[in-house]
Structure formats: C-alpha cells, structure tokens
Amino acid sequence: MALEQSPYHRANLYEHFIDELESNKDVKMHGLSQLPKRLFVFGISSLPPRYLDALKALGEHIDVHLMFTNPCRFYWGEVRDRKYLARLAAAKRKQLSDLDSFASSQDWQEGDWAFAQQLKGDIEANVDDELHLSEVGNSLLASMGKLGRDNLYLLSQLESNEIEAFVEVERNTLLQNIQADILNLDEHQDDTLLLSSEHKPCIEASDNSLSVHVCHSPMREVEVLHDNLLAMFDRNPELKPRDIIVMVADINAYSPAIQAVFGNASGERYIPFSISDRTADKESPLLNAFNQLLQLPELRCTSSEVLELLEVPAIMARFDINEHEFSTLRAWVEEAQIRWGIDAHTASEFDLPEFGQNSWMFGISRMLAGYAISEQAGLLMVGGEGISPYEQTQGMQAETAGKLAQFIDKLAHYRGALTQTMSISSWQQHINQLVDDFFAVDIEGEVVVKSIRDTLSGSVSSLQTPAMMSRYRRGLFASIF
C-alpha cells in the first residue's frame, strides 16, 4: 500500500483487485463466479499500464477482448521521429568529433590508448552505424503517433491471441495514398533523391480529399468548416449531415464557436448538428456550479469567481435575480471595488494579514449603508470600522442589493460549513440542503439535480460499510465526496 494513503485510494484498489485475481486461480472456489463470462474493451486509444495489468489478471479467469484500432499492419512500436533522430545525431556527431580530436592530439597518455582508438572510419559512418538513421519507418506515423506507438508496445507485451482485420486501401486520392503508406509502413522522405518521377502517385487537380486551412481563431475555423460542408452538400446531393463526423482534439474548446456558427445559421445555410463527448461539467453549467460550491473553502472568492457562480441561471432563479439586475450588480461590484475574500478572515486563510476592505462583506455593507444614508453624510462607523456609503443602492435599488447580500450570506455559511467534520448521514443532508439553497431548476435542470442526489446517495452507501464507519467514526470532511 502506498505510504499514508487510504486503502480506498484508486492505486491501492487496483493493486488489491489484481492481487485477488492473481492469487485466486479457481474462480468458483473463491467467490469470483459473478465475473462476466466475457469482457469487450473498445473505443480506447490508449490505456495506462496499470489498467492493462488489471485486464491481464481478468484474462486469467474470463475472455477479455480488446478492440484496438491500429493504422499499420506491421509492428511500428519502434518507428522514430526524424526530428528526434536529428537531435540525437547532432549530439552524437559532437561526441565523436570531440573523441576524434582527442585521438588526433598529443595530449593523451599511454593509458588513454584504448579510448583514443575507439573511432573507426569517418564520423558520419559511425553515426549511421549506431543510430541507423535510414531506418525510420513512416514519418507521419512516427511524429503524430507517439501515444498509439507506446500503447502498441504495451499491448505487444501481453500474451494474447491476435486477430487482424486490416482492409486494403485503394490509392485513388491524396488522402488514400497517405493512408496506404501508413498501413504498409511506407516512407517517401528520400524520394526526392531519385532521378525519375515514375514512383510518384498521380493526383487529380480537383482532388480535395485533404486540405489545410490557416485560420486566426477557433471561431474562424468553424466558419470555414461550415462553408466547406455547405459546398460539399452542393456538389453531392446524396450526401447527408448524418454521413459526416467532425473530430477535434478538445471539443470543449470549440463548443461555443460551434453553437454560434451552426446554431445561428438560418434558412438553407442551417445544418443539423449535435455535439458529443463533452465533459459533464462543460455540458451542464448547473453541475459545474455545484462542483464549484463544494470547493468553496479552497476558493479566494474573487469577484469574477463569485459573479460567474451567480450568473448560472438556476442560481439567479433561486435568488430571484433577472438579467437586468445581474448587469446592475456586476457594475456595482466593480464600482464598490470588491476584489476578493468573503470577509476579513478570508485573507488569513491564505497566510495573509486579515484585511476586510475590498471583500464581499465590506462591499455589501457599503451598498446597504448607501440605502440608509447618502455619501455626503460621511463615513458610517460599523464595528469600529469606517464605511463609505455607496449611494447607487438608494430607493428601489435596495431590493437588488438585498438579493446579492442573501447570496453572499449563503456562500459565507457553506464556505465555513464545508470545512467541518460530520457523520456520513449529516453530510448527505447538508449537501442536499446546499442544492436546495442555491438552485431553482426547470425540467431539464431537474435531471441534473436528480443525478447529483443519486450520485450522493450512492457515495453514502459505499461509505456506510463497517470498515469505513470504523475508519471515520469521528467524522469526515466534505472532500471525501
């Protein structure tokens, strides 16, 4: 077990799981009969070594089928990037050059003879002999397939029955030629040295199977994509939106641009679309806000962090704040010079001297004081501290300031409460109450709230085992969830 780690730490759970499977070879004799008869793993581009160890241990008891998408029919676990090789070669040339200079000089003693005689032939021959510079494999696969290469190497270490299902690629387009080269581990980097061009594939001038666009922003990338898709539909009436998949490295970074471009297109320019593979917190502002609320004790509660929370529709609805009022509050926060910290005590939590000015409580006090007296009345003394009234909250505006004060008061309450130790059942009640205090949801939001409550209930059930109850009999922190 890792030092000072809980037995329920993921690394320790994996270790226990693997040890249990490896030590109990007879499934029926040791209560492992509930394992499935077969396990299929697919859609995974790479797996950490520990996960593969777990699958290997499972494979001793059941059939484990790992569906691995491999772009090359030959083993390419040792293909090397030309840029990496160039750096190695440069370092090796310098080393050999220094060695050659040393051997040619008169500075070495008789005992250095063996060292001085190591270099045979010229430097380039020695570099090529040691690094095998000509044996690169497909350059594109080497430079852009590092993750898959490492995963392939790990898979090759398993004792497994491999079933290959490669499909031959016709060489009709530029993209198909690249795919075929990768499939067959072909490399054309040195073809420029050949006198004849007969080896080169013929590419039609109208071939648009592969195109590169230089764009200045993600928004522009999506606009170019939208225009190109419309052009493709125009050229091929049989092509449908359901036939197209657009892939990016991080879909969350492009989601706002996709919604703006594809969602706002009208008439004939509208293309039906859906965005998949978004993380739950990016897809649901409510879930993201819930996670932020659980992390309140760790936050500095800057003006941007708190306003971002308040802007969540479910929270605005709970505190009866509309869009116009939120815009007003944002301006007030800036003008009242609220910067960070719930109150003066927040600074001390970050090893800073207690300082109440520019905190939320100080700013709220200024707003409420502005309702009671005008700025011309001078400083208002509260608890021995002078407060300059912020008079923009006079009249009917005071109600809006009161809503903000309610919200900040709730944040302050839970920021303190989430640092306490409580029993498992008390935490369940407390977190459920937090959901009720901060969120007023519509039908769509109810699904997210139900998911939060169900997940919380499942976590509580898993923690209410005799071992866990004994371990945390004095209570536990919210971070356990």
DSSP secondary structure letters along 91-154? HHHHHHHHHHHHHHSS---GGGHHHHT---S-HHHHHHHHH-TT----HHHHHH-HHHHHHHHH
The confidence score (pLDDT) of residue 113 equals: 45
Give the number of C-alpha atoms closer than 13 A to the C-alpha of residue 239, restricted to the C-beta side. Answer: 11
**What does the alpha-carbon distance between residue 367 and residue 92 come to, in Å, rounded to a whole number?**
70
Residue ranges of the chain whose pLDDT lies below 50 = 1-4, 29, 111-117, 131
**What does the alpha-carbon distance between residue 315 and residue 302 come to, in Å, rounded to a whole number?**
18
Q: At residue 105, what are phi and psi to the nearest 5 degrees?
A: -80, 175
The confidence score (pLDDT) of residue 372 equals: 63
The tokens for 271 are: 């293309």
**What does the alpha-carbon distance between residue 239 and residue 229 come to, in Å, rounded to a whole number?**
10
> Are the C-beta atoms of residues 401 and 393 closer than 8 Å to each other?
yes
The confidence score (pLDDT) of residue 476 equals: 59
> Are the C-beta atoms of residues 24 and 16 closer than 8 Å to each other?
no
The confidence score (pLDDT) of residue 234 equals: 93
Give the rounded percent of residues in the chain with a pLDDT score beyond 90: 21
Residues 80, 86, 87, 91, Cα dihedral to 10°: 120
The confidence score (pLDDT) of residue 369 equals: 77
The confidence score (pLDDT) of residue 351 equals: 80
The tokens for 381 are: 């003394």
Helix-helix angle 443-463:285-294, to 10 degrees = 40
**DSSP, residue by residue, 421-467:** -B-HHHHHHHHHHHHHHH----HHHHHHHHHHHHHHHHHHHHH-SHH
The confidence score (pLDDT) of residue 320 equals: 92
Other CB atoms within 10 Å distance of the CB of residue 13: 13
The H or E element containing residue 76 is none
The confidence score (pLDDT) of residue 225 equals: 96
Structural domains of the chain in order of their starting residue, each with its CATH number: 10-184 (3.40.50.10930), 218-278 (no CATH), 285-356+409-464 (1.10.486.10)
Residues 6+ apart with CB under 8 A from 345: 354
The confidence score (pLDDT) of residue 471 equals: 56
The confidence score (pLDDT) of residue 242 equals: 92
Q: Is the dihedral of CA 8, 12, 15, 16 positive or negative?
A: negative
Residues 6+ apart with CB under 8 A from 396: none
Q: Which residue has the tokens 């900040």?
A: 408
Residue at 152: amino acid letter: L
The H or E element containing residue 198 is none
- pTM of the complete model: 0.53
Q: How far is CA 74 from CA 86, 88, 134, 169, in A?
A: 24, 25, 18, 15
The confidence score (pLDDT) of residue 228 equals: 94
* Alpha-helical regions (H) of 354-442: 360-372, 398-417, 424-438
Other CB atoms within 10 Å distance of the CB of residue 309: 20
The tokens for 103 are: 């051997």
**What does the alpha-carbon distance between residue 34 and residue 186 come to, in Å, rounded to a whole number?**
47
Query: Tell me: the pLDDT tens digits for 138-192?
Result: 888 877 887 788 888 888 888 778 888 899 988 899 999 999 999 988 887 765 6
